[in-house]
Amino acid sequence: MSKSDKSAKTNPEAVSKEAADKAHLDIRGKKLDLDILKATMGPDVIDVQNFYKRSGYFTFDPGYTSTASCESKITFIDGDEGTLLYRGYPIDQLAEYGDYLETCYLLLYGELPTQAERRQFDDAITYHTMVQEQMSIFFRGFRRDAHPMAIMVAVVGALSAFYHDSLDINDPEQREIATRRMIAKVPTLAAMAYKYSLGQPFVYPRNDLDYASNFLHMCFSVPAEDYKVNPVLARAMDRIFILHADHEQNASTSTVRLAGSSGANPFACVAAGIACLWGPAHGGANEAALNMLEEIGTPERIPEFIARAKDRNDPFRLMGFGHRVYKNYDPRAKIMQRTAHEVLSEVGHKDDPLLQVAHELEQIALKDDYFLERKLYPNIDFYSGITLRALGFPTSMFTVLFALARTVGWIAHWREMIADPTRRIGRPRQLYTGPVRRSYVPMSKRGTGLGADYHRD
């Protein structure tokens, strides 16, 4: 048995570094050498693309905890260190020194823009922010109390009904037009969803405002009076967009990639990403985290909720805590915490009781063995709700803002997948444990009563 086999034998997880380019597997006496593909950062991967053809076995990884679904050059997370890089640049530097449209350019094209490139990109986005006037008719079909995420899934998908000149995914030019249209129009649609929920008239975008200021203007201005964008709040909004822009192969990005692998148009793929993001375990956690903080209400009730979060028989979890990849503090959460203080001070709520509850909850949880053993730390959603509420948004809009910001990440991954010459439709297999083959039973030979597992509504 080679040295690497020995190390694999004693520690099955270990793949010997000596065989840097091969992993050796022994399956019930059948030997298999698998290529190890090198990463520039993070874990190398064992290539199992031909594993079934060569071994007759599937690999099994339902939550993709150990599975790389693709090769990507866009974003890298070091979960142990708690670092996040967009095209190699640390998130804290981009949030500090850059802005969202620059981050969009970086995620899409791989480099920070020159001044000329930036100007051209800004214009390309600014002059596409309006949507076809008929789109406003879609909104009228919804009840006023429709959840804005339900509206966003519908209207973003409906963009493909208007823009037939940017649906051919094999035409790079059309991919580029669809890219710019979505980054430009999703904020307009998000603001329309918000205005519709208020029963207020839609506000058109303005070309003299920057991206975040334009969004706040479309959300909070009314025809009855002038609205002046607060530059501190606009900067905070822009930074929040940067923090949410991309995050490797998270559930919604993987949804967009899988939808795109079938050749579906980019608007439909992003609508699928929005639908996935809505879940409370994913992008819906910011809304759920604020609702949780409001339910806790005072620091005195924190122990009761910590106990519930630790109780295996209670489905309650601390929303905004824990992460599949981060086993350290989510770097975005730290920046979001600072932004929360900034916004609350600017709007005159620096003593917001929920911020105190959040801070106390964090301090208690981070000293509790249950959370320490499982490496559960605050994630981006823990402080974002407090910040977004202070900016004036209702909780129902929190995940919409996440979707707005993540649109560029979804599109960057969609473009990377479409441009990959080895692209194939994603089609996972399964571990089947259902009934083995059996023959049809005519009604006359079946029981007469209701079977034990008959499910009433």
Residues that bind ligand SDX (CB under 6 A): 63, 247, 250, 281-283, 285, 309, 317-325, 374, 376, 379-381
Q: How far is the CB of 36 from ligand SDX (least distance, A)?
A: 25
Classify burial at 200, counting beta carbons within 10 Å of its beta carbon; exposed 0-12, middle 13-18, buried 19 or more.
Answer: middle
Residues pairing with 216 in the sheet: none
- Other CB atoms within a 10 A radius of the CB of residue 457 amount to 2
99, 238, 246, 381: which one is catalytic? 381
- Other CB atoms within a 10 A radius of the CB of residue 155 amount to 25
Q: How far is the CB of 281 from ligand SDX (least distance, A)?
A: 4
Look at residues 314, 260, 319 and name the one whose alpha carbon lies nearest to residue 289. 319
Comparing CB distances to ligand SDX, the nearer of 271 and 318 is 318
- Cα–Cα distance measured from residue 254 to residue 248, given in angstroms and rounded to the nearest whole number: 9
Comparing CB distances to ligand SDX, the nearer of 196 and 241 is 241
Comparing CB distances to ligand SDX, the nearer of 65 and 448 is 65
Q: How far is the CB of 85 from ligand SDX (least distance, A)?
A: 14
Comparing CB distances to ligand SDX, the nearer of 158 and 269 is 269
Look at residues 73, 99, 105, 64 and name the one whose alpha carbon lies nearest to residue 242. 99
Q: How far is the CB of 174 from ligand SDX (least distance, A)?
A: 27
Whether 147 sits among the annotated catalytic residues: the reply is: no
147 in Cβ contact with 196 (< 8 Å): no
323, 330, 352, 413: which one is catalytic? 323
Whether 122 sits among the annotated catalytic residues: the reply is: no
- Cα–Cα distance measured from residue 185 to residue 215, given in angstroms and rounded to the nearest whole number: 10
Q: How far is the CB of 377 from ligand SDX (least distance, A)?
A: 10
Task: Kindly tell me the sign of the dihedral angle through the C-alpha atoms of 185, 190, 194, 196.
Answer: positive
Comparing CB distances to ligand SDX, the nearer of 191 and 243 is 243
Q: State the residue number with the nearest CB to ligand SDX.
A: 322
- Other CB atoms within a 10 A radius of the CB of residue 299 amount to 15
Q: Tell how strand 22-27 and strand 45-46 pair up.
A: unpaired
Q: Where in the sequence numbering do the catalytic residues fall?
A: 323, 381
